Structure 1
Amino acid sequence: MADTIRETLREDSPAGSWLSIPSAQVAEQTAAADFDFVVIDTEHASTDVGTVESMVRAVDAAEGETAPLVRVAWNDHVRIKRVLDTGAAGVMAPQVDTAAEAEAFVEATRYPPEGRRGVAAARASNYVREFEEYYGSANDAIATVAQVESAEAVGNAADVAAVDGLDSLFVGPADLSAALGAFGEYESEPFLDAVGTVLSESSVPVGTLATSPEEVDHWADVGFDYQIVGTDMGYLARGAAESLARYR
């Protein structure tokens, strides 16, 4: 694995897992499987900042080198700086439709003079004990992942990807297919044409989310550079259904 998750996203075709359950135990157990990274969701989950910090701490405590990323609820610098202060290794922002929005996103993850991230004593810097070291390295280490979830974002994919400091685009398949009038139709022409545009025009790696083994195969055939290969809720639901069916 590369030295930072930024390098891993760009170089190593990583595999990730999605965390929607607000639980440090679930986070630690998932990280113990040795994914390259996990994404702690705060957009569509009930996870608050305090729980994010506990989950980040749990991922860091697990054996291996799994990196904790956090999806914020919106591309907002206040939300971003709060999750970064927990020690998250990177941030995913939803609905990044333009280069200007991508620039604002990157700026929110960077300390001045490169950006506008606020300076504070927090877990990320070992509560100021290692602040100089953290301040000096964070701008080069924090990963930034912008979600492509609209027709506008597809049309601007090249410009968004070209923003300095942006590490990856991430196609949200449910939201993008819904925006194109083809919800869940991942083999439909409008959806595949849009994905093809993003893949061909992006100068940074493009990832997506698979919610089943079959989707892992499908996205590999489509040509994504990396995948989040499952979700905690999906693992639980699928395992419970399979065990019950076997018993019945």
Structure 2
Amino acid sequence: MTNLNRKFRTATNIAGAWLSIGHPTVAEVTATHDFDFVLIDTEHTPLSLETVQEMSRGVDAADGETETIVRVPSDDPVRIKRVLDIGVAGIMVPMIETAAEARDVVRAVSYPPDGIRGVASGRASAYGDDFQQYVETANGSIVTVVQIETQTGLDNAREIASVDGIDAVFVGPADLSANLGIFGDWENDRFAAAIERVVDAGDAAGIPVGTLVVDPTDIETRVEQDFDFLIVGKDTSHLSSANERIRQRYEETVSQQTATSISED
């Protein structure tokens, strides 16, 4: 069992960081800030497996215990297999709508006889040096997170969360609100009810439920909604907001200096 897997089973207030910029420096810098994990997104980015591997190395190079989860584009077992061979701590799979789909994810993550993951040496097994030990211990150690992002997923939330081998459920706020016809309306009662439904499903199954927070002012709301873990912020959003703040401060300072100079003339 990985440290991250243990945290998902026993800890509270787990914090992650969202990465979509495909550079190991971004991953390494982020991992120096004591996040429990980083989430590398390959669903909505052009990141290649080679890039994901280098980003994972960046995380591992940082001091601390931050580990890597990769969001794959779908429940394709070939893609899942190749990501896991990189040696990451876990995966997140989007758009899961039924317990059968959740079971397929667990089978894709697991080696035979429990699953269908192909056996091969790679970075995960120290390029073969720990081959047999890794294969014998991998099942049950990979953090397996599924996303509920549709009305059908909501309808089946309890069944999805109760699938053996699913370690956590994640609410995709943008896709879920869009699917409900209330995109971006975070204050809508229907959105709040949907969140409550997923959180209740996780509680009933005894597994944590998380979501993404991009705006820091939303953290208190999500904590009050009883999410067990949050991914707090995205690298692109941090970069954009920091650039905007520093540019505005410069312009305001120059404007104040100009006004002072005029008043003194």
> How far is the alpha carbon of 1:4 from its aligned partner?
2.2
Contact 1:85 1:123 in 2 (8 A): yes
Distance in structure 2 (CA, Å) of the matches to 1:9 and 1:177: 26
Cα deviation, 1:89-109, whole Å, max 9, x if unaligned, reads 000000011000000001111
Contact 2:2 2:142 in 1 (8 A): no
Q: TM-score, normalised by structure 2?
A: 0.91
Contact 2:2 2:89 in 1 (8 A): no
Give the match for residue 53 of structure 2.
Answer: 53
CA 1:81–1:3 in structure 2 vs 1: closer, same or farther (change >3 Å)? closer
Give the match for residue 211 of structure 1.
Answer: 214
Give the match for residue 236 of structure 1.
Answer: 239
Distance in structure 1 (CA, Å) of the matches to 2:233 and 2:42: 17
Give the match for residue 221 of structure 1.
Answer: 224
Distance in structure 2 (CA, Å) of the matches to 1:60 and 1:95: 29
The letter of the residue matching 1:30 is: T
Give the match for residue 168 of structure 1.
Answer: 168
Distance in structure 1 (CA, Å) of the matches to 2:8 and 2:186: 24
The letter of the residue matching 1:104 is: D
Distance in structure 2 (CA, Å) of the matches to 1:124 and 1:111: 13
Give the match for residue 136 of structure 1.
Answer: 136
Distance in structure 2 (CA, Å) of the matches to 1:201 and 1:69: 22
- Secondary structure of the equivalent of 1:220? helix
Q: Which moved more, 1:238-247 or 1:3-12?
A: 3-12
Contact 1:74 1:93 in 2 (8 A): yes
Contact 2:124 2:134 in 1 (8 A): yes
Q: TM-score, normalised by structure 1?
A: 0.97
Structure 2 counterparts to residues 1-248 of structure 1, below 5 A: 4-13=3-12, 14-202=14-202, 203=205, 204-248=207-251
Distance in structure 2 (CA, Å) of the matches to 1:66 and 1:138: 19
> How far is the alpha carbon of 1:26 from its aligned partner?
0.4
Cα deviation, 1:118-151, whole Å, max 9, x if unaligned, reads 0011111011111112112211210000001001
- Secondary structure of the equivalent of 1:127? helix
Distance in structure 2 (CA, Å) of the matches to 1:11 and 1:239: 35
Distance in structure 1 (CA, Å) of the matches to 2:19 and 2:77: 22
Structure 1 residue ranges without an equivalent (≥5): none
Distance in structure 1 (CA, Å) of the matches to 2:110 and 2:216: 36
- Secondary structure of the equivalent of 1:145? strand
Structure 2 residue ranges without an equivalent (≥5): 252-265
Distance in structure 2 (CA, Å) of the matches to 1:54 and 1:201: 36
Distance in structure 1 (CA, Å) of the matches to 2:75 and 2:218: 27
- Secondary structure of the equivalent of 2:132? helix
Higher helix share: 2
- Secondary structure of the equivalent of 1:140? coil
Distance in structure 2 (CA, Å) of the matches to 1:216 and 1:45: 25
Q: Which moved more, 1:133-142 or 1:42-51?
A: 133-142
- Secondary structure of the equivalent of 2:139? helix
Distance in structure 2 (CA, Å) of the matches to 1:223 and 1:80: 30
